[in-house]
Structure 1
Amino acid sequence: MHLEFRHLRVLLTVAEAGSIRKAAARLQLSQPATSAQLKRIEHELGGPLFIRSAEGVKPNENGQYVLRCARDLVVGFDRLREHARSAAETDKGTVAPLRAGGTAGPLVSLLISALFELVPESRLTIDARRSVHALVKALSLSKCDIGVFGEFPGFPLPVGESVVTRTLLREPVFVLLAEDHPLARRDSVRLRDLSEEEWVMPEADESGVHAYLHLTCQSAGFSPRIAHVTPDLSVAQILVAGRRAVCGVWPSADVPAHGTVQRPLVDVPFHRRLQLAWNTESVPPELADAVGERLLDAYLDLVRRRPHYLSWWDAGGKDFALDTPG
């Protein structure tokens, strides 16, 4: 785990609350999740920062030093943000607009919301693409300044030398089943239990989505039969509801039921990496850090609004999602 700005706020919240239970409530997380995150932060910083007792927690000597530094950094960042906003308002007549992009889905909406808070609206233009290839090409050609997209393991997307990417989290694939499908009675589904099913998929593109499905299913002992191809989720739902196919869905998406249910897959790490990418020539690092922090916070709020996703998240999925080595 790499220490990030959001982790400083977790430390400060725990110190101010005086207990992990109260801090979890303020952070809108479960107590086990907050405790686990605190332990990971402490491990990253070399050892315990709090003395734990039945009455709660209080910082040890090392923790007091870390908290002082954390407060200074948070205050300094807030001042930096206010200065940047003020300077942007002053220069908005001469500074080129920031061009933000993404692919279809909730993440681009979260990016736009984050940027509306950080960048004057008059300095922001939006270019949402259906094709991840078109978005990545725009980034590499400096026609887009900052964007978000999904990337499958083993299929890296070329973003250009001046573009930096940061993995925000790993998002699992859930399976969409007919509500009367025998597997729908389970809380979760093993991928190999879908070996006899036909699949409906979006069209193959440069993201490697079809190849990644084949590789993942082969690791579970079978080759998937892609019988239907459509970019339209509503068409896919009709096929799934009629027991003519199954398909993978992102649990962060707002997928209407229409005779279908979502179930997590439990035997293989079937997922994509959600990437924030920005051009270093037009996006300062402090803005990229602030966008990344707000994006992740907004994504966690979205998780809490998806009951099926929240159940997976609280049952241990969070550790998988937020473990983003490299």
Structure 2
Amino acid sequence: MTEQRVRWGVLATGGIAAAFTADLVDLPDAEVVAVASRAKDSAEAFAERFGIPRAYGGWDALARDEDIDVVYVATPHSAHRQAAGLCLEAGRNVLCEKAFTLNAREAGELVALARGRGSFLMEAMWMYCSPLIRRLKALVDDGAIGDVRTVHADFGLAGPFPPSHRLRDPAQGGGALLDLGVYPVSFAQLLLGEPTDVMARAVLSEEGVDLQTGALLSWAGGALASVHCSVVGGTATTASVTGSRGRIDIPYGFFHPDRFVLHRDGREPEEFAADAADGPRSSLKHEAREVMRALRAGETESPLVPLEGTLAVMRTLDAIRDRIGVRYPSEANEPGLTPA
């Protein structure tokens, strides 16, 4: 691809699909040409809302649409393997929401499928595409705070969510971990890579999903990360990184920050703020731009959100679920996960 407009298809019509599409239609080099839902009326309403020319009442038709350059998969994560796999099999490039899949096995299958077909595949971890998070990582990598010793991150929603809500539904991969905990885990692994050991505890619902989970991740070099997620309490949703010579603090909304503060030993604190030109901190445009940049460059994965990193995060999420005893109905015969 060169500098032409990138043609997008949107698979699913929920809240995150609407938020992403709203940002897409605001980008001059992006064009949303089709949307699909299992319910045709939902697809048609979504298409009318955003001025999308084609609405499909099924995923197959969208996957087969050769006028689409890349499909954004925004279903619940329990359907990511099926939806993204369908699109990849049909030759489409894919941006798939997080958590990438239910488990590492499914993630590995999608990555193998994309690589086998030479298609682009990326997890929609918009945090990794944030200019401010990229600046933070560069500072850490350059030794601004010395060797990383500890990472802390939390993400909790107050709820309460009724048993019928998707966050409480095992069949939809419910619970705090895959929906919210993926952010703290991904933040820790952005800075430290895959942990060598995982400890975790959780409070489970009557349905068998985690209402809140805390995990302690450790690395062979001595670093530790404490991560927490909850759907029964609104947390500070902050993050911090402590090194041998300083600390970085990110205030509320650490996964889409508008600022962070660098504390270096013996120096005054330095505040780093988002550039006004980057748009609002809640913008999903950064990951859309990264996908389009990669497609035009002929890349099959993004260096900002590499597939090996996505696989490593999924392995950690599996390990946490193994420790807390959460298994989803589709994993009845899944090895390595302890039944609830």
TM-score tier (shorter): under 0.3
Larger Rg: 1
> What's the TM-score, normalizing by structure 2?
0.23
Higher helix share: 1
> What's the TM-score, normalizing by structure 1?
0.24
**Which structure ranks higher in relative contact order (CA pairs < 8 Å, sequence separation ≥ 6)?**
1
